Homo-oligomer: A and B are copies of this chain.
Amino acid sequence: MRAYILTIGDEILIGQVTDTNATFMANALNEEGFEVVEHLSVADTREGIMSGLMRATEAADVVLVTGGLGPTKDDITKHVLADFCNTELVFHEESWKRLKKIYRTFGKKATKHHRVQCELPATATVLTNERGTAPGMWLELEGNIIVSMPGVPYEMRQLVRNEVIPRLLEFNGDDKRLRALTILTAGAGETTIAEQIEPVEDSLPEHMSLAYLPNLGTVRLRVTTRGTDEERMKAELEDVRVQIEDIIGDLVYGYGKGDLALAVQSRMQDKKLTLATAESCTGGSIAALITRHPGSSSHFMGSIVAYDNKVKNKVLGVPVNMIRKNGAVSEPVVKAMAEGARKKLGTDYAIATSGVAGPGGGTKDKPVGTIWIAVAGPEGTTARLLSSGKDRKRNIIYTVHQALDMLRRVLDGK
């Protein structure tokens, strides 16, 4: 079953928001074996939406549409949808009752602005939006399924998970499916990996493929196969996985989804270890990535973001003379930061970072992109020097990945 993702909104076209809804829907569809053929983002206009619906229904069996269902006046999606499906909008009493109840719960009153949200295409099956006021709609039209959802990510996600995917699985028969395996690596670039695993790639049969997804110090390798025999597809993927791991096993930190913070979390939880960070140039970004994950409080105790040198000295105990002599961006200081955090927060391990993230602050000896990272643990303290580029955000994220991977390797004994 082929699926199409159609997102509506001028805010996407002008680049004011990134289309994370498309990513979420694509991922959810892909996990269930639906093939996503295209994403298209169109303007909030009748012509834009009509043209998008036409391309989508020609290219695929299922079209997931988001955006344009809010109470404000820039939203015309459902009028166009009704026209496209040769039907008209009717007032949906059940949705209005639900909406009024929601507003009462919040001590507010639903207004005429909200009432228009309950006018829905007559032939639509209404999908309850548990997290908001604009309902989802399921429309069937000459062999196509069109599902329209609000563009608010939090609401759309619940609808996709609880309403759309289960209904689509019911519809889907024994069609040819797509199965994929993702190998997560850190520590080498795309080209280096490609050269090392070239024999594996060259020996892949026609119906299998390999893609490289590099991201600032990490590369995900995605192996895909197509077919109808689940067991055979599984075996094919496992065979390629073993071949690749034989060659670049030290770079592999996991499979499927999950970032380096999650890889560290699972290892620390298994071994009942605790972690702290002492961050200068990363400014809290390592701690922020770690704590995005549920359950991180079991191993993560906290962080000292020592942006100013006084904080390095006063809270982490880095001697003023050491900073004066070597500069804050130096091996002794980053090691002392890691050791200071480990001691202050009483943890088994600590990660530290100190570098010139840019765009300012660079010198001839220590240009922008000069970054020290350190890991302190029961085995002692080690430090590494990174040479990154000139882009501030990129330097921060690259450092977050490298520092977490440094700890991951210590924990893996690699």
| Interfacial residues, chain A to chain B (CB-CB below 8 A) | 9-20, 22-30, 36-44, 48, 52, 55, 70-74, 111, 113-114, 131, 152, 154, 180, 182, 190-191, 194-195, 201, 209-215, 220, 222, 224, 277, 279, 282-288, 290-292, 294-297, 300-308, 310-311, 314-315, 344-346, 358-361, 389, 391-394, 396
Contact for A18 among B16, B20, B111, B361, CB less than 8 A: B20
How far is B284's CA from A283's CA once the two chains are assembled, in angstroms? 8
Q: Which residue of B lies closest to A73 (CB)?
A: B201
Closest to A344 in B: B315
Q: Which residues of B contact A209 (CB under 8 A)?
A: 10, 74
Q: Do A11 and B284 form a contact, CB below 8 Å, given A17-B213, A22-B41, A302-B304?
A: no
A87 shortest CB reach to chain B, Å: 26
| Chain B CB within 10 Å, residue with most, of A44, A222, A283 | A283
Asked if A48 contacts B38 (CB within 8 A), the reply is yes
Q: Are A392 and B195 in contact (CB under 8 A)?
A: no
| Copies of this chain, whole number | 2
- Tell me the complex Cα distance, A12–B30, Å: 11
Residues of B within 8 A of A191 (CB): 71-72, 111, 113-114
Q: B residues within 8 A CB of A285?
A: 284, 288, 291-292
Q: Which residue of B lies closest to A295 (CB)?
A: B360
Q: With contacts A44-B211, A190-B71 known, is A291 near B304, CB below 8 A?
A: no
Complexed CA–CA distance, A359 and B297 (Å): 12
B72 touches A190 (CB 8 A): yes
| Known contacts A311-B345, A359-B294: A70-B212 contact under CB 8 Å | yes
Besides A292-B393, A302-B305, A303-B305, 12 other A-B contacts (C-beta < 8 A):
A12-B23, A13-B26, A13-B36, A15-B27, A17-B215, A38-B40, A38-B48, A71-B190, A282-B288, A283-B300, A302-B315, A305-B305
Given contacts A286-B284, A294-B360, A302-B305, contact A25 B30 (CB under 8 A): no
B310-A11 in contact (CB<8A): no
Residues in chain B near residue A11, CB distance under 8 A = 211, 213, 222
Closest to A153 in B: B394
A152 to B213 Cα, complex, angstroms: 10
**B residues within 8 A CB of A305?**
277, 284, 287, 291, 302-305
B13:A17 contact, CB within 8 angstroms: no
Tell me if A211 and B10 are in contact (CB < 8 A): yes
Chain B residues with Cβ under 8 A from A277's Cβ? 284, 305
Residues from chain B with a CB closer than 8 A to the CB of A286 are 284
Residue contact A16 to B27, C-beta cutoff 8 Å: yes
A40 to B292, CA, bound (A): 31
Known contacts A194-B113, A307-B302: A15-B28 contact under CB 8 Å: yes
Q: Which residues of chain B are within 8 angstroms of A282 by Cβ–Cβ distance?
A: 288, 291
Cross-chain contact A38 with B13 (CB below 8 angstroms): yes
The reply to whether A39 and B13 form a contact with Cβ atoms under 8 Å apart is: yes
Contact partners of A292 in chain B: CB under 8 A? 283, 285, 392-393, 396
Contact of A389 among B73, B154, B294 (CB under 8 A): B154
Closest B residue by C-beta to A303? B305
Bound: A87/B288 CA distance, A: 49
Q: Which residue of B lies closest to A213 (CB)?
A: B11
* C-alpha spacing A42/B22, complex, angstroms: 13
A sample of 27 inter-chain contacts (CB < 8 A) reads: A14-B26, A14-B30, A15-B25, A15-B26, A15-B36, A16-B213, A18-B19, A18-B23, A22-B41, A70-B190, A74-B209, A74-B211, A111-B195, A154-B389, A154-B394, A282-B291, A284-B286, A291-B396, A297-B308, A301-B310, A302-B304, A302-B306, A302-B307, A302-B308, A303-B303, A314-B345, A315-B345
Roughly how many angstroms separate A13 CA and B59 CA in the complex, as a whole number? 14
